[in-house]
Amino acid sequence: MSTPYPFTALVGQDDLRLALLLNAVSPAVGGVLVRGEKGTAKSTAVRALSALLPEVPVVAGCRFSCDPAAPDPKCPDGPHEAGGGTARPARMVELPVGASEDRLVGALDIERALAEGVKAFEPGLLADAHRGILYVDEVNLLHDHLVDLLLDAAAMGASYVEREGVSVRHAARFLLVGTMNPEEGELRPQLLDRFGLTVEVAASRETDQRVEVVRRRLAYDDDPEGFAERWAEDETALRERVVAARALLPQVTLGDGALRQIAATCAAFEVDGMRADIVMARTATALAAWAGRTDVESEDVRQAALLALPHRRRRNPFDAPGLDEDKLDETLEEARENEAPEPPEDDPDGGGPDGSGPGDGGGQPPEGGGPDAPELPSQQQGPDSDEAPAAPQEPAPTAGPGAGEQQPVRAAEPFRTKMLSVPGIGEGAAGRRSRARTEHGRTTGSRRPKGTLTKLHLAATVQAAAPHQKARGRSGTGLVVRRDDLRQATREGREGNLVLFVVDASGSMAARQRMSAVKGAVLSLLLDAYQRRDKVGLVTFRGKDAEVALPPTSSVDAAAARLESLPTGGRTPLAAGLLKAHDVLRVERLRDAARRPLVVVVTDGRATGGVEPVAQAGRAARLFAAEGVASVVVDCESGYVRLGLAGQLAGELGGTAVTLDELRADSIAGLVKNVQGMNSPSRRAA
């Protein structure tokens, strides 16, 4: 809608509002990552923020928003003379999940560059976002190559477009704000670290607050302009406060005491690198300016840690981000006790070398923050204002079919697994598992362009143009190139796959005390799937039937949680598990035909229950072989006497079998037979 929802009309979400406002006060904080379930006003809050930002002075007519006080000497639209200019509202530029590289960094007309030697450059979203906000909704679903471009631009403050010797560079400094739903997958650690702050949001469980949310939203939908007008006075007051805090920011003092608390906190939570210390320092300074103070206090450091460290602390795979507040308080208290230096001999009152009192630079603020201290959003009373992100609770086991159900067992420690891949060359979403034709990777050939030319194959273009030079009347040493001569480079990289786990949870698995090792193996494969940017799904079978424990998703955390709470016991309906997996693949093929599946069956190969269970399992397995679905059977059979049923199942599936020991990356036997089996002539024919 043309009229944004007013920022001051947001209900609750105190941490979210505070984090956004701190970035408005100090863009050097580095942006915000907003994590939370759908329908929690994440996007609404971000869009409302842009209306609070002060106007931006720009050079008139410059497509790259150069500052007239200090124009970029390398601006493609330059050079500009200092001074003058005009003012415009701060921009909020949205980056769609499906955006192309050209849309993000800009498009260079390669045809004109080759034929005429002209750098015809059309700016992209990075240029539009310069000195404004770059908003990425569902940032965790962004393609890897776009993430890499964002990382480069955020690190260097500039965007570079280089193609076939033609180079364009422009400034790109922006406030990066991303929103995501953790159920749809996590972010790469490299991108996580680029966000200055992170907040977790959730819908309020307080009835009165939920009622107020609905009441305001309905009023806004009925009359956006009238609703915004009712909140105009509050918006103006908040905007003026942002401007005042920006003006006060250079005067804020970050004392040695506060710096020691910041360093001690980052060390205690074992964060990697020094970016966390820097972000905490900038955040604490912005908090003081927002509160109208010129000194950073201990409470500022504490609040800065809650916003800047949860996504940076070192944690185990599949652990939810968060911060132990008791540990944080203990760390800050120890730092305060150790920070008081011995008073100088010529200063009997214990004042600092600059004449400040012992409470400056990190002491406890007076109760209530002082009589004149402005109220922070994080200090507002509300049902969710003081809640920390809740730790995930292990769901209680539910009664399932079949007799002899056992309590869930904990998974063994995960390990690094060997590479499993789908044979052939696909064209699915970018990832790190199987070979695929992609926009990025090594060049393998050329073709005529279909639509806009993006990656020129120079040698193939010259070869196509060479035979026609005489007919085109070439003179001198130049080469006459026409549109029909241009060739698009074909590249080969890696794709992400749909890894569908079919896990045997029957009594035959649990009776031999193998379920812990089995869960550890599946957890290891899930970790591998996360690193390779796969989608995952989980089908389990036990008792009389099979169920889809987790539909295909990008959230391996959800799969790990379902696996941990998986009960065992009962008979082994192997055929039902395979048929359920076949149905899942059929539906997913309609949703995303380009993403190729890899089925991982975790079982000892036994089949019991029903009429002719072994024959039924064989018929179900042959459905996968007939459709050429890549499959691997993780053989969980143990003991001195082995029946080899998992190997027989792998043969029916047209795949290969691998034991739990062979699955480990440090195993010598490894998956040599897996690779040979998948690339055999019969397998390729399937």
Residues 514 and 612: beta-carbon distance below 8 Å: no
Cβ burial of 572 (10 Å; 0-12, 13-18, 19+) is buried
The amino acid occupying position 338 is: N
Mapping DSSP to helix (H, G, I), strand (E, B) and coil, where does residue 374 land?
Answer: coil
Taking residue 398's Cβ as centre, other Cβ atoms within 10 Å add up to 8
Which alpha helices (H) appear in 439-501, and where do they start and end? 458-465
Q: Is 176 left (phi over 0), alpha (psi -120 to 50) or beta?
A: beta
Element (H, E) at 433: strand 430-438
The one catalytic residue in 103, 188, 275, 562 is 275
Query: ω before 79 within 30° of 0 (cis)?
Result: yes
d(CA 355, CA 253): 14
Classify strands 545-553 and 535-542 as parallel, antiparallel or unpaired. antiparallel
416 is catalytic: no
Q: What share of the chain is helix, strand, coil (3-state, %, to 5)?
A: 40, 15, 45
676's tokens = 């040979």
Question: 19 to each of 76, 239, 385, 470, how far by Cα in Å?
Answer: 34, 15, 13, 66
Cβ burial of 221 (10 Å; 0-12, 13-18, 19+) is exposed
d(CA 140, CA 148): 13
d(CA 227, CA 9): 9
Q: What is the DSSP string of 377-428?
A: GGGS--TTTTPPPPPPPPPPPPP-SSSS-B---PPPPP-PBPP---SS-B--
Q: Enumerate the active-site residues.
A: 275
